[in-house]
Structure 1
Amino acid sequence: MKTLSIFTTLLAVSAAKKCVVRNPTDSAKTNDVKAPVTDDIPSDNETPVNVDENTPLDKEEDSGIENSDIENSEDKPKGKLPADFKWGAATAAYQVEGAWNTEGRGESVWDHFTHLYPMNVESSDRSNEDSTNGNVACDSYHKFDQDIAMMKIMKANHYRFSISWPRLFPEGQAKKVKGKWNVNKEGVEYYDMVIDTLLENNITPMATLYHWDFHTLSMKSMVVGRLPFTRRFAKYAEFCFEHFGDRVKNWITTNEPWVNCVSGYRLGPGKAPYRCTGEAPRKLANDTAGLDLLGGCSYEIGPSQYTKNHEALTANRPPQRLEDVWCSHNILIAHAKAVNVYRKKFQKKQKGLIGITIDGEAQIPWQDDKTTPEELENNKKYANLAAEFRIGWYSDPPMIGDYPESVKQRMSKDMPVFTDEEKALLKGSSSDFLGWNTYTAHWAEQVKNEDGTYVQPPTDEEANFENSKRDMWDDNCRGRGEGWTCIPPTLGSQAGSSWNTKFAPTIRVGLNWFSKRYEGLIKNGIVITENGCAQPNYKVARANDEVTKKYFESIGQPKYADTYKEEDIEREDNLEGTLMHDTYRIDWYDQYLKNLRLAYAVDNIDVRGYMAWSLLDNFEWENGYETRFGMTYIDFYNDKEMKRVPKDSLEHLGQWYLENVEQN
């Protein structure tokens, strides 16, 4: 077969009119002209209407991007990013702040579960009681001035951080009593300091209201009928808008609802609240002798009722079917309610922007040297279908007000249904801007039976949660071994986390997918709110990967194998090696940023910002302090002062900014 660029093949998918949701009256304005890079502040109407509710998902529109443009784009002038490009780094409260029980802070779900189930978190020194939790983390609560110094090195003009709900409201519920909020004064003073210090250093705050650290009490009502949780979140958000909104002009309601809900409520035990359907909680076993009760799945926090119309569930039970689906549903409604509060009460005066950050892998149609043109075309369709399940499930509601039709059809009665009122609140609730966290990509194809015939999609009668993806495969490697390790070939080289592979075109592919799907609906563009990597390390690495190398050579794309040598793997005992001189991470940033700039300059995508993950080595959830995503080194086990030491990548990004972004 004639080999095709992997990037080209997915662009054809993103161009399919099936993926386009457009306001017909705006189409003439958006096809050929790049949106101006200026903040277009929406009105404070309750629900901005961006598309007619009956607008169909079209099926056969050309993308306007010729294959030759893609294939030759690297030979064209790249163009610099605009001077007001949002450039910076990202962190999250639980991962960096520490001070977990300092000055009135309440308990978050991550405190609760890392203390109860420390064996679910990796540690190379379990004699250190803080090695499996965020009790101290980077101690940014006391050392934020040092964090600012690191931002200055990378020339950051924005900083994405998150606000800890339990630090502001220790009891979990925000309310006004006689006109005064029941807020923790010390928590408010801390975030006032963070915001004011950023502004004094000419760094614009980008605040996330929820980055996986809900208050424990609030998490117990996560899906206990929609009203208690969604109202709690909206009131918490209202305080933040009211108090910080005079200075914060970039708000993200929620970070990665898929990870929070699917990983936290079904896949476990990797993410709090550590619910999972593959293993019953060990503490509920009839005989717990010999069982490790400090690990495994939890039972303490789970929904007691999906909605007020559902049957109440008993306490202290194993996880139930569809907990993750209803968690996702209610988080999206909570997002919409928070946006509604902002637009009705604050946005007109404060003139800020608000949106959601979703995650998800750009989907690449699988091909090898035996793939026929007909199979490749079919795989393109399945790549788009996989994207609708992995990304569109979460990005369609805040853009167009409902789930993708493909997801609803395949889930059937297992799919929650938004009320008309909820659809109205959701529609356009991320039209100010859309945040996307992107790291890797997935191949996708239709599953085949042993005899080579295709597994067929579920019929309407068969449609349910379990069957919804039975004919769909997507992953970044061709198989999984023990411990969820990848069996090569992998979609790019293996970075330092099992899910983290280096395939830089994913950022360009995804930006094109979003741009075409929501053409004319995103007023202030797409912001990459996270991108980065853990370098290959002692836990996860695949040096000299000949299988992956030969695969990419076989399809005419040898550069995407991106192999490395044993000496490129970082070692904790060698500060003179790649731990500090992080060449793999530098190359990662160079490749991904090159593709971002191509998306902007060649593909005419309205991308407005890039936040590198992460400013600091930090508490990496279930990987503890054993996996480093930071551009700044911290010796967590031996240095009580938590001294920040910039890695080469931090200075490299500062230079990249000077060379590739227009300077005022």
Structure 2
Amino acid sequence: MQSSDFGNDFLWGVATAAAQIEGAANDYGKGPSIWDTFSKRTGKIKKGHQPTLACDFYHRYLEDIALVKTLGFKVFRFSIAWARIFPLGHGSINPEGVAFYHRVIDECLMQDLVPMVTLYHWDLPEALSKEGGWTAFGINSWFNEYVTFCAKEYGDKVKQWIVINEPFGFTSLGYMLGVHAPGQTGVNNFFDAALHTAIAQADGAKILRAEVSSAVIGTAFSCSEVVPYTQSAQDLLAAKRTDALMNRFFFEPVLGLGFPTSDWEVLEKFAISHSTWRHQERMKFDFDFIGLQNYFPLVIRYNAFIPILQAWEAKAKNRKVPHTAMGWEINADSFYRIIKQFASYPQVKSIMVTENGAAFHDKVIDGKIDDRERIEYFEAYLSAMLKAKNEGINITGYLAWTLMDNFEWAEGYQARFGLVHNDFKTQQRTIKQSGYWWQQFLSK
């Protein structure tokens, strides 16, 4: 297998996110984000880590964009920090923040890289969170103001766009379970945030379509193949509920299908109480591509003690199957099947894998950062993707997560997913063996 097997127009890249790499969290006119605030709360982030400096990409973007080029990639996906543009979430604009993203975009173009911009990658301005954040009715007008500005400001240079990163991820972890920013809990908070996010996903895309000529517009969904632990009726139903919530809940409204209410009465009650046919129409958009972000399958068993969902994950460690340092199952065949699942909808024009990668305990051998497990992971997952593509699925690109070790949300700086090692004390970058593997792979 070599990169040319995927076709000359296939987009190969790396993905990053502002809150995870930028640093300069309190500088150059930027307002605080919910992750700046959340990370200061005791016990929320492993080892008390904070994204204040992160990878210092704000000051080192020239070096880091050069690394993307050196490794042979064509696409650099990064996100705009909403609070760096609008420190208060809306209203007054921070010109230094606006200028920074112009510099990043211009450098990508200078290096003959395609800049792919994610408009929302989890770092809501703290000022908006104090007004209710994604649970607030006003969030959609605030988001539209932000998207409109970015589209008009950068649209002449940026043509590849992702509206929202993993809507289920940040609404469930941040507004229901409380383990991510802003740390809210409760089913009602989740459903309020979910409705507004589903609307924002399509609203943002419609703004981009209106404001940016020749825009290629997508949005990025976290997805996992859901497998029942046994073939018992209870496990099968638990898996069906989990799939409806994690894979279909935000995806099917985009296609004009509404929320997946038929497989779970809780979602039917939500749809009746929270949404109308007007919402259903507003949540629909004909995206140019659907971004899939896959890291692991989920093996689900029935558990009556889990509120509402009544489902529980059978962990990879306990099942004694190959897994990453995060405990996530390694299963390239599952990756193939989840691509097939999403591609089975006739409304889907094309699929781009906008994130995929793995954290391992990298070793230093003879002065080199040996991460052969990561290389084996990519070899297996790319082979699975090629199989799906050869069967006729229109897969247009693949973005590895991630360029360099970074602030990995609640994991802090402990989980290392990078192709480039980052020494967080010195900010020295060192290409790992997996980075050199990609360099060789992309040269063929």
- For Structure 1 versus Structure 2, the TM-score category normalised by the shorter chain is over 0.9
Aligned match of 2:262: 406
Letter in 2 for 1:644: R
- Could you tell me which of 379, 394, 402 is aligned with 2:250? 394
Query: Retained in 1: the 8 A contact 2:260–2:267?
Result: no
Q: Measure the CA separation in 2 of the matches of 1:204 and 1:390.
A: 30
**1:475 shift after superposition:** 2.5
Query: Retained in 2: the 8 A contact 1:401–1:425?
Result: no
- Could you tell me which of 250, 258, 263 is aligned with 2:160? 250
Aligned match of 2:403: 615
- Could you tell me which of 179, 183, 190 is aligned with 1:274? 183
**1:407 shift after superposition:** 5.0
Query: Retained in 1: the 8 A contact 2:174–2:181?
Result: yes
Aligned match of 1:625: 413
More helix by share: 2
Give the SS at the match of 1:119: coil
Q: Measure the CA separation in 2 of the matches of 1:354 and 1:509.
A: 24
Aligned match of 2:111: 201
Aligned match of 1:173: 90
CA RMSD in angstroms comes to 2.6
Q: Tell me whether 1:656 sits opposite 2:441 in the alignment.
A: yes
Letter in 2 for 1:120: K
Query: Structure 2: where are the runs of 5+ without partners?
Result: none
Aligned match of 1:121: 45
Query: Retained in 2: the 8 A contact 1:90–1:612?
Result: yes
- Could you tell me which of 138, 153, 156 is aligned with 2:73? 156
- Could you tell me which of 325, 335, 341 is aligned with 2:207? 341
**1:621 shift after superposition:** 1.0
Query: Retained in 2: the 8 A contact 1:396–1:404?
Result: yes
Aligned match of 2:354: 529
**1:321 shift after superposition:** 4.1
Structure 2 matches for 1:84-99, cutoff 5 A?
84-99=9-24
Structure 2 matches for 1:599-610, cutoff 5 A?
599-601=388-390, 603-610=391-398
**1:384 shift after superposition:** 5.0
Give the SS at the match of 1:112: helix
Letter in 2 for 1:362: E
Q: Measure the CA separation in 1 of the matches of 2:3 and 2:163.
A: 33
Aligned match of 2:132: 221
Structure 2 matches for 1:308-387, cutoff 5 A?
320-343=186-209, 345-347=210-212, 350-366=213-229, 375=231, 383=239, 385-387=241-243
Q: Measure the CA separation in 2 of the matches of 1:361 and 1:154.
A: 28
Q: Measure the CA separation in 2 of the matches of 1:533 and 1:88.
A: 16
Give the SS at the match of 2:262: helix
Aligned match of 1:440: 296
Letter in 2 for 1:239: F
**1:417 shift after superposition:** 3.5
Identical positions, percent: 29
Structure 2 matches for 1:26-175, cutoff 5 A?
80-115=5-40, 117-123=41-47, 132-174=49-91
Q: Measure the CA separation in 2 of the matches of 1:81 and 1:385.
A: 35
- Could you tell me which of 427, 430, 441 is aligned with 1:645? 430
**1:421 shift after superposition:** 2.5
**1:466 shift after superposition:** 4.2
Q: Measure the CA separation in 2 of the matches of 1:384 and 1:622.
A: 28
Q: Measure the CA separation in 1 of the matches of 2:303 and 2:260.
A: 25
Query: Retained in 2: the 8 A contact 1:398–1:426?
Result: yes
Q: Which of the pair has more CA radius of gyration?
A: 1
Query: Retained in 2: the 8 A contact 1:528–1:610?
Result: yes
Q: Measure the CA separation in 1 of the matches of 2:394 and 2:234.
A: 29
Letter in 2 for 1:330: H
Aligned match of 1:421: 278
Aligned match of 1:16: none
**1:118 shift after superposition:** 4.2
Query: Retained in 2: the 8 A contact 1:118–1:133?
Result: no
Q: Tell me whether 1:636 sits opposite 2:424 in the alignment.
A: yes
**1:487 shift after superposition:** 4.9
Q: Measure the CA separation in 2 of the matches of 1:167 and 1:186.
A: 8
**1:430 shift after superposition:** 4.9
Give the SS at the match of 1:251: strand
Taking a change above 3 Å as real, the CA distance of residues 611 and 136 of structure 1, as seen in their structure-2 partners, is: same
Relative contact order: is structure 1 or structure 2 higher (C-alpha 8 Å, sep ≥ 6)?
A: 1
Give the SS at the match of 1:248: coil
Q: Measure the CA separation in 2 of the matches of 1:378 and 1:86.
A: 42
Aligned match of 1:31: none
Alignment deviations for residues 320-358 of structure 1 (CA, whole Å, 9 cap, x no partner): 442112211111111222222222x324xx111222211
Q: Tell me whether 1:496 sits opposite 2:325 in the alignment.
A: yes
Give the SS at the match of 1:634: strand
| TM-score (structure 2 length as normaliser) | 0.92
Q: Measure the CA separation in 2 of the matches of 1:399 and 1:414.
A: 19
Aligned match of 1:41: none
